[in-house]
Amino acid sequence: AAALVDVIVSEWMGYMLVCENMFPSVAFARDRWLAPVGGRMLPESCGFWIAPFSHREAIEDMHGFWSSRPYGVDMSRLANRAIDEVISQPLLDLLHGPESVLSQPAEVWKMDCRTVTSQEVLAQTLSFAFDICHFAKFHGLACWFSCEFGAGVPEGLSTGPDDAPTHWMQTLCFAGLTSDACYGLDVGLDDRVEGSLSWRALGRGLALELRGAVRRKLARDVIPFCRKLELAKPG
């Protein structure tokens, strides 16, 4: 019989926690070699977090480049098309300042590394509902993760906007609202963003679907959104 181990330590987390599809091999090792009584997984658990975001800085930087006559050529007419192309897929970036996060972040999925199955990691559908807390341009949903290491390890890891920057950054899924989606949708206090985020493994990447609606109190309207995105393994 194979010798059992007391602890499995693995840094398997990818962008948006599950991109790169590395956890199934860890689960295989856990099920085969981790002691059934007292065995520990490090990290012990992971949380998946999302929040509505505004990222005018990124939009303005991209627009500024195309409007700056790069190489002496007037490319300003291409600015909107170029931005639309960039945000047609998830953007890996860092959000800065409280004005970038439009509501209290929510932990929408808790992953117990000791018991979660590979299938639960490979595909999920997560619901969300957020009340907007200040006036801004709504661009989409930001995703990140946190890790806890259990008893005796008080310090965890978080890759959120309020934490020290990491190479995981935040994964920004643009909702793509209206024809000038890159400039966002005006939202205000007590407006509501609700819907669902789904993923399924696509090789080492993820196929994503973002569905929902923005319910605007002052404008008295409901703006639906639906985007299919693909997060590829970088490099």
Residues carrying an active site annotation: 11, 20
Q: How far apart are CA 12 and CA 14, in angstroms?
A: 6
Amino acid letter for position 221: D
Residue whose entry in the numeric block shows the structure tokens 């117990």: 112
Distance CA 14, CA 29 (A): 18
Q: Return the number of other C-beta atoms located less than 10 Å from residue 111's C-beta.
A: 21
Q: Is the peptide bond before 43 cis (omega within 30 degrees of 0)?
A: yes
Give one word for 221, left, alpha or beta, with left for phi > 0 and alpha for psi -120 to 50.
beta
**How buried is residue 175: exposed, middle or buried, by Cβ count under 10 Å (0-12/13-18/19+)?**
buried
Spatial separation of the C-alpha atoms in residues 55 and 172, rounded to whole Å:
9
Helices (H), 7-114: 23-33, 56-66, 79-86
